[in-house]
Structure formats: structure tokens, C-alpha cells
Structure 1
Amino acid sequence: MQPFKMFLRGLALAAVMAPAAAQAENLRVLSSWSDNYAPVTEVLDPFLRKLETESDGALTLTRMGPETIPPFEQLDPVSRGLFDMLFTNGAYHYNDTAVGMALDALSGNAADLREAGIWDFVDQHYQERGLKLIAILYDLNGYHIMLKEPLTGNALEGRKIRGTPIYHAIIESLGGSPVVLPAGEIYPSLERGVVEGASWPTVGAVGFRWYEVADYMMRPTFGQVGHPVFMSLDTWNGLDAATQELISRAAEEYEAEAVENFNRLVAAEEATLEQEGMTVTELGEAHLGKLGAAWYEGAMGLAAQQNPDAIAQMDEMARKAGLTP
């Protein structure tokens, strides 16, 4: 065989054996929160950078926030392909489906959910709604309640506590009365005494400066905060196999990294809150035993009102895998 022909044959063989390059894509990412919510810049953005880096620049991702589409209205435009990806919380689209919200009731990390089959179950559920689950970025530090006054032996008895419906069971189990308010109204409502406390993830009080109008944070925390990342199913199906594999691998790796990012973020947040004068108020022994069960049963019960069959399956899988309180 002539040398030049041998050279061409070698090039062709190398091309066949080389791993396929990621497909060049510019993806628009919708976030349910602005930069005031620290996980946007400290958890989501590193994930987007990881995808860009590991694709050698073939993937570029542009983030947009709730100023583009309001948080509770974002699921539909992403499912219809008007945006490519979504960073959110399941409770934000409860009226469409409650399966994502039920993730916050479970115990364990994303790897545990994958092993139990729950991750794939959730993925399939959302694919039926035009979305592909890419990752579940968990803050295992969970939720807490910020208070104007410290807890007493009667826990929250007689107090009005801001909380969206997912919090209602736990607020009521501690004797409080839930009041539904959007995040933007928490500061003035605490300031004016419309509510005596507010429920929120353990990250957020610093960015929204709630420490100026609340002096205490209840401990222990409860639940865990799921931040699913979805992709429009049309966008996903339009990617080549190499790009799909790259995104799936990077996302699974980053799920573990996200837990550590959240841990660092929460530690820094709590240190800042203490510097700003907020102190811990501990829940008494009489109410401690109610906390985990009240959160799980309340969140799953609320989710079951929307998707009874799917939530029953998730509950069965979670109990079998030991992922319940």
C-alpha cells in the first residue's frame, strides 16, 4: 500500500476510534431565584461552568432569572422549549405536579435516590410532562424557622408563622398558625408584626437581610431542600449521544459536589447571622419527636393530594430504602 494511502487509512481509523466530540450548543438556563439567593451563584453557576469546561467549550450556558419568567410560572415554558434548562424547587410548580416537591420530604442524598430507583422514577414522571431530569442538587441542611422572639415550652403556640403550604403541617404541629406570603413580603411582615416568624431554607436570611427583623433561628432544622435541574425534553432529544452522556456524567458527579457547596454556604451563612446578632433558640424535648414525622407526613400528604398514585409509589420506594425519617 502506498504511504499516502496508509496515512489516510490511519486518519480514518483514528476518527472512528476517537470518542465523539460534544455537540456545540448554546443553552438558556432559567432560574427560579435571583442572585439574592446564594445557591444561584454558589451552587448553580459552578455546575454550569463544569458543563462548559468538560465539554471543552462546546456547551455554553446563559443564565436568566425570575425577572424573565416568574418563579411559579416557569415549568411550562421550559417544557415547551422556550428555555432549555430550569433550576428550581418542586414546590414552585405544585399546581402542575407535586412529585418534585416530595423530594424535600425524603432523607438521603441524590446517590441514595439513584440507588433506590427514585431518581429514575422522578425522571420518567417529568418526561411525561416534556422535561428531562438532569440533576437533583440537595441542601441536606434543610429548613428552619426564623423568629422575632425565642421559643418557649409551648413551642410556637399562638404565633403566626409565614409558610407556604409545604410548611403548614410542621407549623401546626408546633402550635403555630401558618400565613402564606411570598418571599418579597417576609421582611416587611416581620418588621410590622404581621407574622412572628418565617419558614425558609437555612440559606437565604443573609441575602434578604431578614436578620434585621428577626433575632432568633429555631434548631434543629428539618427536611432537606431539593433543587432539581430540568432540561426541555425536546432540547435533550435534539442532543447527540455524546453530549447527552457528557451532561449525565457531569451532573451525577456534581450532585455530590453540590452537597459540599451547600454545607460551606450554610456554615458561612450561620456565622454571618451570628455576627449580625441572631441567636439559636432550641426546640424543647416535648416537641422534638414530632419534627421529622410532621415534616415527612405533611409534605407527602400535601403532595398526595395532587398526585396520589405517584406519591404512593415514591413513599413505598422511600420506606423500602430507608429514606424516610
Structure 2
Amino acid sequence: MERRSFVQGAGLAGVLAAGIAPAVVQAQASLRWRLASSFPKSLDTIYGAAEVFAKKVGEMSGGKFQISVHSAGELMPAFGVVDGVQNATVEAAHTVPYYFFGKDPTFAIGAAIPFGLNSRQMSAWMYEGNGLKLMREFYANYNIINFPGGNTGAQMGGWFRKEVKTLADVKGLKFRIGGFAGKVIERLGGVPQNIPGGEIYQSLEKGTIDAAEWVGPYDDEKLGFAKVAPFYAYPGWWEGGPQVDLFINRKAYDGLSAEYKAIVEAASSHAHVDMQAKYDARNPAALKRLVAGGAKLFRFPKDMMDAAFKESMALYSELSASNPAWKKVYEDYAVFRRDQNLWFRFTEAGFDDFMQQQKL
């Protein structure tokens, strides 16, 4: 069979199996992209996922497709990356979609919404449900195609100067909280603040804010929050499984060869798994160190949790009535969430509940 005909007919998987992929890759043009991150380099888990992605793209392309990764503020502000990709200032970005709920609340569903999916459920909705299809239809309005690029797993509830003992303690609380969840905090009487990760410590230290959440023990320890706000809350009910995305300019992506598109897809899924593996492996030891250093753990009170759930569901109903894009995506998401919780109730939750009571 003629080599060109074989390659066209077999696709990437076929040529890999046949052992001729190196020649195919070498036939591709050299390419260099820039990727803008919303995170500081000091956070080697969440920022590092973009580097994992870029490294894998380089390896899989034999060094011909190079992506340089730039931390928040290097090319553009942390919250300017969607505009950067949309306007083709950069070819790609690595960010959390809910940062951009101000453009449209639908962005938040692509990351995490209060009392939403956990990380496994989110990946299932994206890859096997309608998640990727629906979110890509929405992101097309911004000249963007997205690829899952990480998940932190369920997050902690943040650092507080004073323990929250009742719902009343939320009134007037100036709370740095990421993205869409601030709308619920506001409905509870709090004052949400949307501040980039690299600026949170200074705001807490100066008393500009009363509390702040980021991700979990490993990152929070690096950021030093325990030094200025010793009370550490759980669970982060607004982030049961927040997905971090790779946003790619649609024209830049469409200009890639089929092989390079396959490489981007494979490298992003690798980074997606790698990020949560690192958080799950590193958070336990970090939590032990924080508690040994004086951090005081507390669980959010039930009246606060109940009120937050009620307000979240009311908010989603209001958005469905006023925002067609939200309604289309959320209706599918909600059905998927219902079925996932039914399944997890009998499997994951039952198993985890038993195991966590054992003294191993």
C-alpha cells in the first residue's frame, strides 16, 4: 500500500501501531504557541498542569510543536486570559472557567457551581455525558474551544479570622471566594471578593478581607494563609470538583493538522489526570503540618449549609428563567448530577463512610 494512502486511512492510532509515527510527526511544520496562565508559578500543582501539558505536546511532536507557558501577569492579568485567547493575543490559556462568570454565568458550569458535581462526576459529564459538547457550543461565542486541563478535587472551605458558628456569622463577612460562589455568599449576607491567588495573602494580612478560600492544604500552606487567619473551614460546598480548562483560540486550533489536534487532546487529558493525582497525594501531609502548626479546623454549621443550598437552587432557577445559555447547559448538568448522586450513594459514599471510620 502506498505510504500516504495508508496514513490517511489508518489515522494516528494506526500509524502508531505500525511504528511509522516518527516520520509522520516529522512531516508536520514546526509550531510555537504561547499559553497564558491565571496562576502564579509558586503554585506548582495548578500552574504546573499547564507545564505538564506543554511538555507532553513537545514530547509527542518530537519537539516540533512547542508551547511556552507564562504565569499570571507576565503577558496579561490573571483574569484577562479569556480576552487574550478570544482576541488571539495568545493561542491558549490555562484557567478556571468560573472566574469569568461576570461575562456570563454559564462559564461557571464548566468549572464548578455550589453543590455541583464532584471531580469524578465532572469528568464523566465532560467525557461521556454532554458536558464537552454543550460547553464547546457555549465557548464558540468567544472563539474558544476548551479541553479539560485539571481538577483539584473537592476543596476546603477557606481561612477565617474567626470561626463561623452560625449562619449569622456570615453577615457582613468580607470573603475572598472564587467566581460564581460569591453570588450565593452575597445572598447569605456576606460580601464576596474576587481576588487572584497571588494577591490573597496581602489582602488577609492588611484586613481588607476577613476570610479567603483558595484550594486546599498543599497550596494554602504555600500561600501562608494560616499565619493571618487560623480557622480552617470545610467542606468547600461551592467546589465539589472544580475543573481547570485549557482554552484554545478556535482559529489557531482549526489550523492544526489532524496529528497535532490529536496530540493536544491527549496531552490535555494527561495534564487533567496528573493535577488531581498530585493534589490527592500532597494534601494529606500538608494538612497534618498545618494542624501541627496551629490551624484550627472547623466544619461549616448546618444552618449555613442548608441556607447556602436553598439559595443556590433558587439562584439556578432564576438564571434558567432569564438566561437561555445557562438553561440549556444546566438542565443537562442537573439531570446528570441527580443520577450520579444516586449511584455514588450506594457505592463511593457507602465505601468511603465505612473506611473513614476505621483506624488503619
Structure 2-normalised TM-score? 0.75
Q: Aligned residue for 1:319?
A: 334
Consecutive unaligned residues in structure 1, runs of 5 or more: 1-8
Match of 2:153 among 140, 149, 159: 140
C-alpha distance in 2, partners of 1:204/1:303? 33
Give the drift of 1:198.
1.9
The one-letter amino acid paired with 1:271 is K
The 5 Å alignment of 1:221-236 reads 221-222=236-237, 223=239, 224-236=241-253
Report the residue type matching 1:45 in the other structure. E
Instruction: Provide the secondary structure at the position in 1 that maps to 2:25.
Output: coil
Q: 1:56-135, aligned counterparts within 5 Å?
A: 56-67=62-73, 68-103=75-110, 104-105=112-113, 106-107=116-117, 108-135=121-148
1:1-325 equivalences in 2 (<5 Å): 18-19=20-21, 20-21=24-25, 23=28, 24-67=30-73, 68-103=75-110, 104-105=112-113, 106-107=116-117, 108-154=121-167, 156-158=169-171, 160-164=173-177, 166-172=180-186, 176-180=189-193, 182-183=195-196, 186-202=200-216, 204-222=219-237, 223=239, 224-292=241-309, 294-295=311-312, 298=315, 300=316, 308-322=323-337
Instruction: Find the aligned partners of 1:302 and 1:70 in 2 and give their Cα distance.
Output: 31
Number of aligned positions between the proteins: 314
CA shift at 1:293, angstroms? 5.3
Percent identity between the two aligned chains: 14
* Mapped contact 2:161–2:230 kept (Cα < 8 A): yes
Question: What is the CA-CA distance between 1:84 and the residue it aligns to?
Answer: 1.3
C-alpha distance in structure 2 between counterparts of 1:89 and 1:240, whole Å: 27
Change over 3 Å in CA distance of 1:151–1:190 after alignment to 2:
same
Q: Residues 81 and 186 from structure 1, CA distance in 2 versus in 1: closer, same or farther, beyond 3 angstroms?
A: closer
Q: Residues 297 and 218 of structure 1: is their aligned pair in 2 closer, same or farther, counting only changes over 3 Å?
A: farther
Q: State the one-letter code of the partner of 1:21.
A: V
C-alpha displacement of 1:302: 8.7
- Partner secondary structure for residue 142 of structure 1: coil
Distance, in Å, in 2 between the alignment partners of 1:293 and 1:115 is 29
Q: Which ranges of 4 or more aligned residues in structure 1 deviate by more than 4 Å?
A: 9-19, 290-298, 300-305
Q: What is the RMSD of the two structures over their aligned residues, measured on CA atoms?
A: 3.2
Q: Is the 8 A contact 2:156 2:233 kept in 1?
A: no
Out of 73-82 and 37-46, give the one that drifted further: 37-46
Runs of 5+ unmatched residues, structure 2: 9-14, 342-360
Q: Check whether the contact 2:164–2:170 (CA below 8 A) recurs between aligned residues.
A: no
Q: Which one scores higher on RCO, CA 8 angstroms, separation ≥ 6? A: 1
- Look at both structures and tell me which one has the larger radius of gyration over its CA atoms: 1
* Contact 2:246 2:268 (C-alpha < 8 Å) held by counterparts: no
Q: Structure 1-normalised TM-score?
A: 0.82
- C-alpha separation between the residues in 2 aligned to 1:270 and 1:52? 35
